[in-house]
Amino acid sequence: MSLINKELTEKSGFTMEFSVSKEAFEKAENEAYKKNVKSINVPGFRKGKAPKSIIEKLYGKGVFFEDAINACIPDAYEEALKESGLKVVGMPKFDIVSTDGDIVLKAVGFVKPEVTIDGYKGLDIEKKVERVTQDVVDKELNSVRERNARTIEVTDRASAMGDICNIDYEGFVDGVAFEGGKGEGHDIKLGQGAFIPGFEEQVAGKNIGDEFDVNVTFPEDYHAKELAGKAAVFKTKLNAIKFEQLPELDDEFAKDVSEFDTLDEYKADLKAKIKKRNEEKAEGEFETAIAEALMEKLVAEIPEPMFEAETENFVRDYDTRLRSNGLDLNTYFKYTGLTLDSLREQMRPQAEKQVKIRLALEKIAQLENLTVTDEEIEAEYKRVSDAYKVPIENVKSMIAAEDIKADLLVASAMKFVKENVKSK
């Protein structure tokens, strides 16, 4: 046995002493000698041929000690950890206690915290699903119409609100042109509010070819401080007028934009999709509210390494998403001005929440004696395999069954809490 003793300390800490046998250490020391001798010059010997005893006499008895002890620690620590039954989080710090005979080492670190949670049954949380009204369906229909609108040139009338006007403009404050105030061939939709308040209204009513002044005042909270609150004149010319012609709401429209033959069928499908979207949104908000409530009821001294590890998981997941879109973290940092540390800082609050809610749900699963069957574990392996189009054997080699089981227990605990929320 390599475990000598273990002790839990305050704030989820632990200390554990374990040993490396004299024989195992001597073997590691010989391996360290073989690895390093090729690069050691000893007078009177060809390079790489000096005996271990000569090198130790020349450079000191402990010349290979550090390499040997570092090689021994992983296996000895792992064996002691299994014997101890401790659920360690993060990597501990190691110190040498004794080198007299067997090597005695001490590990100091943190364990998964003891957790208590009460009041998780009967939470007073309402699940609110937004009702699908006809106005909501009509709004969705109009969005589809706008995406399928035709743009038509106007030549026989003045511009009006709702038109798309192509303009040249240059802005002046106190008779002086200001930086960023000039544009040519710029499209502006009148009434959309994309320009300074009052600008678009003064373009309305003008004819193609008209040159005119637009008088406006920059808002007090304008992003360019040197212009905030200032009166300005924009010398403007109207080059062209267009408007968007929306398609008629009829059966032909439904055929063009969907797989349905009639407008009524298309409307019914839209309503069903909006209803499903609202239910999914409500479910997400419901789970978030439950998670917030459980975190408030959680009592645990959570060690810092758990938060750090989860933050790193968030960073890795973000990097994976970037790479799936042809980017990576370095490119992202270049364009955003962020650093790895600032990204970690951004992700830390959500990582802390994730750690807390998982601890809460794990404890609930334990208190309620929730279980996971082998069939459920196998089904989850298949789900992951199908989702990522990876052979199930590969998934099993990458994800331990115990990890799958732990995730399923957390999901079961959340389901349990949801089913026991007070009904409204």
Are residues 240 and 292 located together in one domain of the fold?
A: no
Are residues 17 and 54 located together in one domain of the fold?
A: yes
Are residues 168 and 77 located together in one domain of the fold?
A: no
pLDDT, tens digit, 9 for 90 and up, residues 167-205: 999 999 999 999 989 999 999 999 999 899 999 999 999
Taking 3-state DSSP, the helix, strand and coil percentages for the chain, each rounded to the nearest 5, stand at 50, 20, 30
Across residues 206-230, what is the average pLDDT?
93
Residue 70 forms part of a structural domain: yes
Residue 42 or 419, more confident: 419
**Would you place residue 423 in the very low, low, confident or very high pLDDT band (cuts 50, 70, 90)?**
low
Residue 130 or 50, more confident: 130
Pairing status of strand 298-299 against strand 231-245:
unpaired
Does the pLDDT at position 421 exceed 60? yes
Quote the pLDDT of residue 52: 84
Are residues 294 and 390 located together in one domain of the fold?
A: yes
Residue 142 forms part of a structural domain: no
For residue 290, which of 225, 344, 364 has the smallest C-alpha distance? 364
CB atoms within 10 A of CB 145: 17
pLDDT, tens digit, 9 for 90 and up, residues 60-83: 878 899 999 999 999 999 999 999
Are residues 345 and 405 located together in one domain of the fold?
A: yes
- Domain with 170 in it: what CATH number? 3.10.50.40
Are residues 408 and 272 located together in one domain of the fold?
A: yes
Quote the pLDDT of residue 271: 96
C-alpha–C-alpha distance, residues 354 and 310, integer Å:
8
On average, the pLDDT of the chain sits at 93
Residue 279 forms part of a structural domain: yes
Quote the pLDDT of residue 103: 93
Q: What percent of the chain has pLDDT over 90?
A: 83
Q: How many domains does the chain have?
A: 3
Residue 124 forms part of a structural domain: no
C-alpha–C-alpha distance, residues 66 and 108, integer Å:
19
- Domain with 103 in it: what CATH number? 3.30.70.1050
pLDDT, tens digit, 9 for 90 and up, residues 343-394: 999 999 999 999 999 999 999 999 999 999 999 999 999 999 999 899 999 9
Across residues 132-138, what is the average pLDDT?
95
Are residues 174 and 276 located together in one domain of the fold?
A: no
Does the pLDDT at position 297 exceed 80? yes
Residue 308 forms part of a structural domain: yes
Are residues 187 and 318 located together in one domain of the fold?
A: no
Q: Which two tokens stand for residue 101?
A: 């005979």
Across residues 292-299, what is the average pLDDT?
96
Are residues 211 and 271 located together in one domain of the fold?
A: no
Half-sphere exposure (Cβ direction) of 411: Cα atoms closer than 13 Å: 10
CB atoms within 10 A of CB 265: 14
C-alpha–C-alpha distance, residues 351 and 314, integer Å:
7
Q: How far is CA 112 from CA 69, 107, 300, 312, 322, in A?
A: 27, 15, 10, 18, 32
Residue 251 forms part of a structural domain: no
C-alpha–C-alpha distance, residues 294 and 358, integer Å:
10
Quote the pLDDT of residue 42: 82
Residue 407 forms part of a structural domain: yes
- Domain with 413 in it: what CATH number? 1.10.3120
If DSSP codes are grouped into helix, strand and coil, which group holds residue 158?
coil
Q: Which range marks the domain in which residue 189 is found?
A: 150-245
Are residues 10 and 89 located together in one domain of the fold?
A: yes
CB atoms within 10 A of CB 249: 16
Q: Which residues of 379-416 are buried (b: 16+ CB within 10 A; e: fewer)?
A: ebbeebbeeeeeeeeebbeeeeeeebbeebbbbbbbeb
C-alpha–C-alpha distance, residues 7 and 405, integer Å:
29
What residues contact residue 9 under an 8 Å CB cut-off, 6+ apart?
15
Whether the predicted model's global pTM rises above the 0.75 cut:
no
Are residues 272 and 386 located together in one domain of the fold?
A: yes
Q: What letter does residue 261 receive in the DSSP assignment?
A: S
Q: What percent of the chain has pLDDT over 70?
A: 99
**Would you place residue 313 in the very low, low, confident or very high pLDDT band (cuts 50, 70, 90)?**
very high
C-alpha–C-alpha distance, residues 327 and 253, integer Å:
39
Q: What letter does residue 129 receive in the DSSP assignment?
A: P
Question: DSSP for 101-121?
Answer: SSEEEEEEEEEPPP-EE---T
pLDDT, tens digit, 9 for 90 and up, residues 257-283: 999 999 999 999 999 999 999 999 999
Does the pLDDT at position 51 exceed 90? no
Are residues 268 and 409 located together in one domain of the fold?
A: yes
Across residues 223-229, what is the average pLDDT?
90
Residue 253 forms part of a structural domain: no
CB 92 within 8 A of CB 99: no
Side chain identity at residue 323, one-letter code: R
Does the pLDDT at position 1 exceed 60? no
**Would you place residue 424 in the very low, low, confident or very high pLDDT band (cuts 50, 70, 90)?**
low
Quickly tell me which residue has 């839209």 as its tokens: 270
Quote the pLDDT of residue 100: 87
Could you say which of 187, 215, 245 is where a domain stops? 245
